[in-house]
Amino acid sequence: METVILIVLGVLLVLWLLRRRPRAVGKSRSLLRALRIRRFRPWDHEAELVRLCHGDKALTERLISHELERSPGMSRPGAALAAATRLRHDKQR
């Protein structure tokens, strides 16, 4: 009786171990791709602001100029980010 239980447990353990193994090359590649450290790619905040302004570049320039006037030490990408954030916040109200 004990030997039957040990055999059943052994078979279950082998089946469990086989299921844990990656089945296809595609799956293992996607797993490796998911585990890679991703490099930071800076977002183009000015292009995002143009998109939020529906392509109106004059409005985009005015919004960036306004943010630069509010904070003179701010960089242009920082001003574009601040303007996009402010525009999104205003649209939510």
Res. 34: pLDDT tops 70: no
| List of residues 6+ apart from 52 with CB closer than 8 A | 84, 87, 88
Backbone angles phi, psi at 81, to 5 degrees: -65, -45
Q: Residue 36: its pLDDT value, please?
A: 58
- pLDDT tens for each residue of 41-90: 567 889 889 989 999 999 999 999 999 999 999 999 999 999 999 999 98
DSSP string, 28-59: HHHHHHHHSPPPP----HHHHHHHHTTT-HHH
User: Residue 18 and residue 14: Cα distance in Å, rounded?
Assistant: 6
